Amino acid sequence: MAYLTDYDTVTNQFTVGKVDIELTEPNWKPEENTSIEPAGEIKKDPQVTNTGKNDAYVYLEVSVPMRKLVTADANGNRIDPALIQLFTFTPQAGWTLMDSFTEENNKVYRYSFDKILPPGEKTNELFKTMQFANVVEGQIDGQTFDVPVHAYAIQSANTGGDKNTVPEQAKNAFEKYLNQNKKSGKE
């Protein structure tokens, strides 16, 4: 006895996306900043380009060194020693401060970009310049200080939760990122 049979196969191929970014500072000229002066302004303009394949939430983290120093006000009057940030900056529109905290001898600021960044697109600058504190001479002369800027990106699909605005969604996604990268303590 024979049976009538048939079968068919479908193979679906999936390509995993990719989140990739590039951090640039087009106006940063290291050679111009080897001898900064108190209250001097420095061109520094961090921005991020989405070079990946997926839409992404984008973040910038800036770590500003802090020291206990004597400074002077705009009229030259001495201000007693206090813990100060050596550099200050003014964030541009389009960025939202998510949080700030002190880590070792630095004040760390985390910002999210206010829009989901499509592939090939670029953010505006987080800031255009930084200003060095008006430090009274002789306290840190000749010392070198770093202001590291770190960029992060997280896929926007399936990570922002049910928040209403892009900054809220970006913050939610970043909190998930931090949670997944915590050390388990089982090492």
What is the C-alpha separation between 28 and 129, in angstroms, rounded?
9
Q: What is the pTM of this model?
A: 0.87
Query: Can you give the residue range of the structural domain that contains 123?
Result: 25-180
- Residue-level pLDDT at 187: 43
- Residue-level pLDDT at 65: 97
Give phi and psi for 93, each to the nearest 5: -60, 145
Q: Which portions of the chain are predicted below pLDDT 50?
A: 187
Per the structure, how many domains does the chain have? 1
Sheet holding 41-43, edge to edge: 41-43, 129-132, 87-89
Instruction: With H, G, I as helix, E, B as strand and everything else as coil, classify residue 78.
Output: strand
- Residue-level pLDDT at 149: 95
Instruction: List the CATH number of the domain containing 167.
Output: 2.60.40
Q: What is the DSSP letter of 130?
A: E
- Residue-level pLDDT at 72: 94
Residue 17 domain-assigned (yes or no)? no
Residue 67 domain-assigned (yes or no)? yes
- Residue-level pLDDT at 15: 58
Query: What is the C-alpha end-to-end distance of the chain, expressed in Å?
Result: 64
For the segment 58-90, what is each residue's pLDDT rounded down to a tens digit? 999 999 999 999 999 999 999 999 999 999 999
Instruction: With H, G, I as helix, E, B as strand and everything else as coil, classify residue 174.
Output: helix
